[in-house]
Every structure is written in C-alpha cells, then in structure tokens.
Structure 1
C-alpha cells in the first residue's frame, strides 16, 4: 500500500511475500499484508515498523489418502501421524509464528476440538504402529504445491521425521493448477494442504473435507465408491446431523465428534494453525485487523 494524499490509498499486488517484507523495511510501502512468517523477528527489530500476528481460522495439514493401496492401512497412517512433530516444525521452520495443531480445525473456531484432543506425536508410538502395519518399505507419494518454498521445507522435515522411524516418502512438487485435481483424484498417498474459512462461518469446511460427497472426496466417491480422506458413512451422518441441528451445542458436539473420528482414522496430520503477519509504518495508525485477512477494516487507517 502506498499513499497519494491525506485521504487516498493505493493497493499494490506483490505476489512474493518476501518482496512485500523488503518494501516495508525500505519504506517503499506503508503497510504490508500476509508477510512471510520467517521475517517476523527481523521486522520486529526494525525502527519505524510495527508488526503484529493474528491467528486465522486456517490450518496447515497433511491429508493421508485412506483408499490408496498402501495407505489404506490404518496402522501405517497412525505411524505417520505419530512420526510427525508439529512442535518442531512450528518452532524451527515457522520461527514460532503459528501454533502446533492438534486437530484439523483452528482453535479460534468455536467447535474446534483442539483443547480436548492431545497432540499425536512420538517416535516410540510411531514405531509401534509401524510394527503392527503391513508396510513393506514402499515409497509414498507426497505432493505439495510447486511454487511454495515454505511447503517444500515443511515437506522435507516430514520426510526426515518419517524416515527416522522407517517410512519412505518421496516428495513431488506439483503445479498449482494441477494440485487440486491430483489430490481429489486420489493420485497421491499424502498431500500438503492449508485449509480454512473464508468468511465468518466455518461449518462448511467439515462437509467439504470429510463428507463422502464433499468437494475433497466426491470425485472418487462417485467414480470408485471410495473417496480420499472421508472416514465413512458414520461420519457422513454426524456431519449431516451437525449441518441440520438448530441447537448450537448439539451442532458443535457433532463437529467435535467428527474430529475425534478423523484423528482416530488418522487421515489427517495437523501441523499448524496459521498466523498471518501484518506490518505497518509506525507513523500511521494500523488497520483494525480481522482473523480473516480480507475482512480487515481499512477505514481505521490514519496518519
């Protein structure tokens, strides 16, 4: 964002987050939105720049295909789940910007089960599950979005953590245009996704992600009778019950039970609840930030 006068704003699109950060540091921009998490400490130390973190209703996670030839083994999926240390990922790769996730839905969502479901992390448990599985060293195809450097670093950390317990993972960077079709088409064993609400209500996410006829699963469900990460008919019924419930607590309990079933099925490895970073020139009063970035109130911005 630049300025042209006392009451005018210019919004500039800069696709590279690092460029946004550098322009803010060099005083070429008054406000920088969705800055790289790795630049938080650097920006915080710059004189004349204020920086703030805000937790979004968005989670970074790995989805494990329940219906692929190798990953249809629940013990193997549990081994992957326990092998991944999300605390290490947040601290070392995200510089502590974000919170280690226990469930697929951010703790800022009212019906998130974060507080009642403990983290599934531990090499010993991972090895125990792997010993009980039928896994025989096959390489698992792990797809990530090709243009995302941060995803690659996280994927490499997951690859290393899984290798430590005996699980072989091959990372493949897929063009953004092809990623979703490969994921929903059941062409990968694991897929890195960052999903969250784009409005004030996040209920639709449960259906999209885990119902057999939700957007992530419907293609394979209709063509093969399977899906990708949908646990099955009982979870479908829970989601439908939550969708149609008028009582708030009944709705929330249905969605929390879905999360318990999802974690028991080990179709999702929660990694982090995203925090976006906003920075602005200290000579101005920053905007009224919202947990959903595009709902930030810019009318409060002043110099």
Structure 2
C-alpha cells in the first residue's frame, strides 16, 4: 500500500478573497520583535508548551527545534534522523551511525559524546523507566552504541520519541535541568513563555532542507472557536485541532484551506477492572456492546472519524489484526442486556439495574478536548438504554490523571496517539499488567507473555503474529472499550503552500512550507 493511499489527505481549497481581514501581515524576514504579528508563520493550537523534552516537550519537536537519532517517515515507520543508519550488532547491542555536518543552534558540532550525554539523561528519566537500556557509549566520534539488558527489538522506535531528542551538552545543567532547549532542527528557539508561546527563527546552519520561513510563532489558543476566528481574521497562518463541525463552514470561507486526515489516534473508555462493577468481564463487554459507535461518529463527529473496536487502524498499519471483525463486535443492546443479566444485574421497578440491592450506577471521568464530553454524553444515553446509570464528570486533564492514578474511578474517557512511537510495542503501555500506563488494573498472563516475546524477536512476521493475538485477547477481555479512530482537522491560510500532514503528528514540517506574499 502506498503512502498516499494509506494517509490520504483531503485538501479542501477555497478561492482567495480580497477581504482586508483575510490579508496576511508578513514582516521583514530575519528577526522576531515584541510585536505578536511579527512572525512569518503563526500557529495556534490548544497545547501548552514546556521547555524540557522529558516533561512534555512535544511541541519543540513538532516545531522543528529538536531532533532525535531516529525520525518517523510518512509511512509511520522508523527512518534516519540524526542517525543515518543503525544495526543490531548483537542480541542486546545496537550501533547508530551519526549524520555528519550537524551543528547545534549554539554552534557546537554534533558528535557521539554529545549524543551520549543527552541520551543518557533520557535513559535515566522516568519516561524511559520501562525501556531496558543498560548502557550508552560512544564507539568513536561518529557512532553511538546502545546495549540493552534484554533483547529489545523496538529500540529504534523508542529512540524516535520526543523524550529522546538530542540536546546540546551546554543546554543540560549539572543537575540535569534544561534552561533553554538547544537542538539541531531547522528552527532555533528565540523566546519561550511557559504555557503560552514559543518563538523560533530559522537555523541557517541546518544540515537538511533550508526552510523558506525565517521566523515562526506558536501561540496557545485553547478555545476552538477562538482559533478559528484568529485564522479567519488573518492573525494565524495555521490553526490546529479544530472541531469536525468547522470543516464545512471553513470550506466555504475564501482564503482558507482545510486539511482532514486520519492519524493513529483513538478515543477509548478505560475501566477499573479491579472493583465493582467492572471487575466482571461480562459488564465491561456489555458496555462495549451497548455503545453505538456509528451514531457517535455521524452525529457528533460529522462523519469524519470512523468507528473502531481495536487500537490500530488497518488503513494505517499492517500491525492491525485483520481478523478482528468489527461487525461481530458492533452495537447490540440485546446482547448487552443478556451479559448484564448473566452477571446478576437484574431489572426492577426502575430503569436502572440492581444486584443485591445495589444500583448499577457508575461515574465516567473525561476532559474537554477532542469532543470527549459530547461523546461521553452520548454514551450516557446508550448505557441508560440497557440499565446502566452513568454520571459524566468533566475535569481538567491533569485532575483526571491524578484521580485515576489513585484508583478512585469507575471509568475514564480519553484519547491516545497510538503510534506515539512507530512500533506496536505501544500495546505494552496499553495492556501489560505491570508496564501499562493506563490505570485499568488489567492482568492477563498470556497477554504479558506475548508482549514480552514480541519485544525480543527480530523477525517482523513473528512479532506481528504475537501482536495480532494480543489484539484478539484484549478485545474479548475488554479492559478498555475503543470507540473511534481520529481525523485531524488543520486549517491554513490559502497563501500557505507545501504543508503535508504527518501521520503520527510528530512534526509540522515547517521547513517545507512557503507563504505567498502577494
């Protein structure tokens, strides 16, 4: 399958208008001033930036400030980055050959010792606690050798993660802290306002394609409609993560292009499998069968997103299990009622089921992003129809994480990028009994064995076979209920050319973008 067919981009292009409000104000290239309109290219998105790649520094990578040894190509597979090649030179030993002629933004040259200093910081961080890296050494000035405690096939994919970007040694304090991130990307950090704004300027010594843009400003615009209005008024050249319902109105607005494209991201409900009522697999499966995913995608998501039952989309990757039959797990309220009855939850005088005098009443937590509260309300109606009383509580994302990490929840609705790194080892973080970062408490020895075996194997077919089995088992056990795949909506001014959405959202590709000044 070709890249174009697997990551089809629908580009809805409207003709430019002569409205003054849509005219883009571009500054003289080469500097960033205190004027918020001064940057050549202005991006608005809801996500707050952080300085340290180990503390959510995703935006530094997306804006082209930082780079890693391993990149991710448009087929969502590991590709050369600061390392031009790598090989497994032993069962537990990997060699990464470094790209020549790379300069950090502070003028320091990239060599193996610089890469080692940065990567050791990454390997010692909490984010990499489950990655069995034993040692990182410089073989010579041009090669880094990584040895793992156990055979670990997905190592290159993990070294493509945002936490694994390579920073200048001078950017890392004696205590390991980061004052200002100094990377090797096409853009260098100019200024940073925590949680609010990043400004960057073109790195003239960049080793790759020289950007046309001379300056970039990223602005946090949390409200969806405000991002849209800023784009329409010419205050932004790019507005990201727009709601699905804005697609048609923006289509008809002259001067704006809309890009819609599926990314490997899912919306899903996570159960607490350790306490009543979701410690019973039958109840979890009943919820799974009661939810009308088709209705959710059509009524709430404008038909842009697809219903899903598994973590991987077969349109994106062959790591998806082709034997998972969505129709066999489609909405079936009668089957849901039967499962609940089998679990002892009976109907009585009220519409809510009871067992031993206890009502089947649960609380689902979620947060205000990616249409999750609206989806939760729809699920509330679907589950009420089979006798489950659901209370939906919308909180800040951090508050939700704090609460579920303490085990005080019934279920929570969230959204994950399922290819945060381009390897199905991501299933370990979803389902492994001790290594999962989801808080479901799910334990299945067979799943653990399959995930651990797949981590060690070199043969891709053998790994794929095990990951396919994992997907089948967890669909039946239902520690989570996957609801939908995800379609990104990104809008740009029609003057913008060269934007190509990246399938894993790891970068915005600003080095390829031009802006027509006419």
- Of the candidates 231, 235, 253, which is equivalent to residue 447 of structure 2? 235
Cα deviation 1:210-263 (Å, max 9, x = unaligned): 00112435xxxxxxxxx7252411111111111112111111121111111111
Q: Is the 8 A contact 2:261 2:488 kept in 1?
A: yes
**C-alpha distance in structure 1 between counterparts of 2:470 and 2:310, whole Å:** 10
- Corresponding residue for residue 466 of structure 2: 254
Deviation at 1:82, TM superposition (A): 0.3
Q: Name whichever of 177-186 and 38-47 sits farther off.
A: 177-186
- Of the candidates 257, 269, 290, which is equivalent to residue 50 of structure 1? 257
Residue 178 in structure 1 maps to residue 407 in structure 2: no
- Of the candidates 23, 29, 49, which is equivalent to residue 236 of structure 2? 29
Deviation at 1:113, TM superposition (A): 2.3
Deviation at 1:198, TM superposition (A): 5.9
**C-alpha distance in structure 2 between counterparts of 1:229 and 1:206, whole Å:** 15
Deviation at 1:197, TM superposition (A): 4.0
Output aligned runs, 1:153-192, within 5 Å.
153-192=374-413
Q: Name whichever of 116-125 and 56-65 sits farther off.
A: 116-125
Secondary structure of 1:280's aligned partner: strand
Aligned residues: 293
Q: Is the 8 A contact 1:231 1:262 kept in 2?
A: no
Secondary structure of 1:43's aligned partner: helix
- Of the candidates 282, 288, 293, which is equivalent to residue 505 of structure 2? 293
Q: Name whichever of 132-141 and 88-97 sits farther off.
A: 132-141
- Corresponding residue for residue 124 of structure 1: 334
Cα deviation 1:53-88 (Å, max 9, x = unaligned): 121111100112221121111211111000001111
Which ranges of structure 1 fall in alignment gaps of 5 or more residues? 218-226
Compared CA separation, residues 2 and 162, structure 1 to 2 (3 A): farther
Deviation at 1:142, TM superposition (A): 0.9
Deviation at 1:111, TM superposition (A): 0.8
Deviation at 1:269, TM superposition (A): 1.3
Secondary structure of 1:292's aligned partner: coil
- Of the candidates 152, 163, 182, which is equivalent to residue 373 of structure 2? 152
The root-mean-square deviation of aligned C-alpha atoms, in Å, is: 2.2
Q: Name whichever of 82-91 and 292-301 sits farther off.
A: 292-301
Deviation at 1:277, TM superposition (A): 0.9
Q: Name whichever of 26-35 and 186-195 sits farther off.
A: 26-35
Q: Is the 8 A contact 1:231 1:261 kept in 2?
A: no
Deviation at 1:3, TM superposition (A): 3.8
Residue 111 in structure 1 maps to residue 111 in structure 2: no
Which ranges of structure 2 fall in alignment gaps of 5 or more residues? 1-23, 30-212, 346-353
**C-alpha distance in structure 2 between counterparts of 1:261 and 1:38, whole Å:** 35
Secondary structure of 2:218's aligned partner: coil
Q: Is the 8 A contact 2:380 2:391 kept in 1?
A: yes
Q: Give the greater-gyration-radius structure (CA).
A: 2
**C-alpha distance in structure 2 between counterparts of 1:84 and 1:5, whole Å:** 54
- Corresponding residue for residue 276 of structure 2: 69
Cα deviation 1:98-122 (Å, max 9, x = unaligned): 2111212333233122663314212
* TM-score, normalised relative to structure 2: 0.53
Q: Is the 8 A contact 2:296 2:378 kept in 1?
A: yes
- Corresponding residue for residue 206 of structure 1: 427
- Of the candidates 289, 293, 306, which is equivalent to residue 99 of structure 1? 306
**C-alpha distance in structure 1 between counterparts of 2:27 and 2:305, whole Å:** 35
Secondary structure of 1:195's aligned partner: strand
- Corresponding residue for residue 220 of structure 1: none
Q: Is the 8 A contact 1:51 1:279 kept in 2?
A: yes
Compared CA separation, residues 5 and 200, structure 1 to 2 (3 A): farther
**C-alpha distance in structure 2 between counterparts of 1:103 and 1:169, whole Å:** 23
- Of the candidates 12, 27, 31, which is equivalent to residue 4 of structure 1? 27
- Of the candidates 295, 316, 319, which is equivalent to residue 88 of structure 1? 295
* TM-score, normalised relative to structure 1: 0.89
Compared CA separation, residues 75 and 94, structure 1 to 2 (3 A): same
Deviation at 1:203, TM superposition (A): 2.7
- Corresponding residue for residue 16 of structure 1: 223
